[in-house]
Structure 1
Amino acid sequence: KGKAFDHILIILLENTNYALAASDPYLQHLSQTGILLTNYHALTHPSQPNYIASIAGDYYGLNNDLDCSIPANYSTIVDLLEPKHLTWKTYQEDMPEICYKSSYTGDGLYFRKHNPFVIHESIAGNATRCKNVVPASQLPLDLFAAASSSSTSTPETPLPNYMYYTPNMINNGHNTTVRDASLFLSTFLPPLLTSPAILHSNTLVAITFDETEDYTIGDNLVYTLLLGSNDLVIPPSLKNTTDSTFYTHYSLLSTVESNWDLGNLGRNDANKKLANVFKLVADRTGYQNLEV
C-alpha cells in the first residue's frame, strides 16, 4: 500500500507547447476531472534524454536521439521498486515483441528513443526484467487478469504498482498533432478508468508531454494532468483544480519514491530544486516541497 496511491500509470505524449495542449477541447474536459499542473517543466531537448531522466533521475548530458545504451551499473526506478516487492511494467505501443531492442519498427510506429527501459542495460540485459518491457497490447490482458483475481481469493493482483505507457508515433502526437494525441486519450482513458481493475486499485494517472515543440521556449513548460481512479486518490474537492508548484520530469520519480518510501537514486530525483513531489502526494506523505 502506498501513502497516496497503490498504483501509478505514467503516460508520455510528445512535443507540444503548453498553451496548445491547454487549448485542446478534450484535454480541457479531462482537466475538469483531475488536477492540472500549471508549472511542470520538461528538462531538455530532444526527446530521448527526457525519457531517460524520467526513470533515472539524470540524462547524463545527452543531447540527441541517437541510439545509446546506459551501462548496467546505472540504476533506475526499478532498482528502488523491486527491493520493496513493488511490481512494475512498461507498455509500449506497437513494439513487436517483449523487450524489443532495435531502433524502430519498419512501420515507423515504435521508436526505441521513447522507451527508456531498453536503453538501460540494467533492464535490457536482465532476462527477468526484460519480461516487464511489453507491447501495449498486454495492458488489456493485465487489466482483465487483475479484475479476475480481485473477485477470487487470490491475494496478489497482476496489475503492476508502477506502469509506464508510451503511445505510438501517431497517438503520442509526434508525427501528428496534439489533436491526434487527445483523440487517442479520448478512446484510451474512458475504458481504462472504468475498468474494474483500475476503479478498485487506487491508481494515480499522470499524463504529460516529453518536451515543448518550440525549442525557443526557455522554460520548457509542458501540459501535465493528474487523474485518479477513484475519490480516494483524488478527492472531489481537488477535481477541476490547478497546482502551480514547480515540477519537472524528476518529480515523476520523487513522487513515486515519496509515496512508497523508496529512498532515492541519489541524482536529480533528490535535488529539491528540481524534484518537488506532487502536492497531492506530498500532503499525504509529509514531504516538504521547496518553493522555487
Structure 2
Amino acid sequence: EYIVRCPGRVNLIGEHVDYSGYGVFPMAIDAATYVLISRREESGIDFYNTDGQYPPHLHKMDDEWIGVGKPQWYHYFLCGWKGVCERLGVQLNGLNVLLSSSIPPCAGLSSSSSIVCASALATLAIYTHETFSVISRAEFAELCAHAEHYIGTEGGGMDQAIEVLATKGHAMLIEFNPLRWTAVRLPETAFFAVLHCGKTLHKAATSHYNERVVECRIAAQVIAKASGIKEWKLVRTLHHLADALHKNANEMTEVVRELLTEPLYTKRSILSTLEVTET
C-alpha cells in the first residue's frame, strides 16, 4: 500500500555531543532504507528483508511489546511502529513489511535509525493515509528519537533529526532543547567521499555507546555539585550545566580543570560524591 524511503547520514561536525545537548552538523546521504508496507487480515507483523542474511520473522501480538536489549533487525521496525501507535493511541496488528536497505549496517551511517524513521513514517501513512499533515517534522523526529530507546540505546536525537529534516543539497545545523535546525547550502562543486574502513560496531548490541552517554551525565552532575549549584541533581547534560553556570565552551574548559581534580574517578568516589548507592 505504501513505499517509504529514509536516508542514512554522515556527521560533518560534532561527534558524540548531541546527547550532551550540543549542536551537530550532519547531512543525509544517497544510501537509504526502503519499507514496503500493507495491511494483512491475520494478526501479527510479517517481516521480510531483501538481504538474505536477515531471515523472515512473524511477530505475534500475544503480549504488548516493551522493547528488547539485544535487537534483531526487525526490532528496529517495531520501535518506530510502537512510537507511532502510542502517539495515535492505536495498535495496528496485521501488517506485511518488506525492508530493503543500501546503507552498510554497523558502519556509522545510521542504518538502524533509518529503519526506525522509515518504520514510523510507514506506520503513520498506513493508519492515517497522511504524513506530515498530522504531525510536524520536528515532532516526528523527536518521536523517532524517543522510540529508538526501545532497543536500549540512549541516543541524543541527531540521527533521527537529519533523516527527517534533510534538504537536498544542504547540510543541517541541528540544535536541541528545543529541537531547531538551520539548512546550510553545500557548494555545488563539493564532493564528499564516505569510506567504510571495514570494521563494524553493532551499537545496540554492546554497552559502549550507552557508557559514554552515562559518563557524560555523571560528569555533568559531579561538576554541577562541585560548582555549588543548588539543584545539581536536576542537571542532565553538559550543555544544561554550562547554561546553569552561564559559561561558554572555552570557559567550561577552565571550570573542568579547576573542579575535576582527581586524575581518575572510581565508581566508589562517584557514588560518594553524588550521594547515591550502587543499588
- Confirm or deny a common fold (TM above 0.5): no
Task: Please give the range of the TM-score, normalised by the shorter of the 2 chains.
Answer: under 0.3
> Which structure's residues are more often helix, by fraction?
2
> Which structure's residues are more often strand, by fraction?
2
Normalised to the residue count of structure 1, the TM-score between the two structures is 0.27
Q: Which structure has the bigger radius of gyration? A: 2
Normalised to the residue count of structure 2, the TM-score between the two structures is 0.28
User: Greater relative contact order: 1 or 2 (C-alpha under 8 angstroms, separation 6 or more)?
Assistant: 1
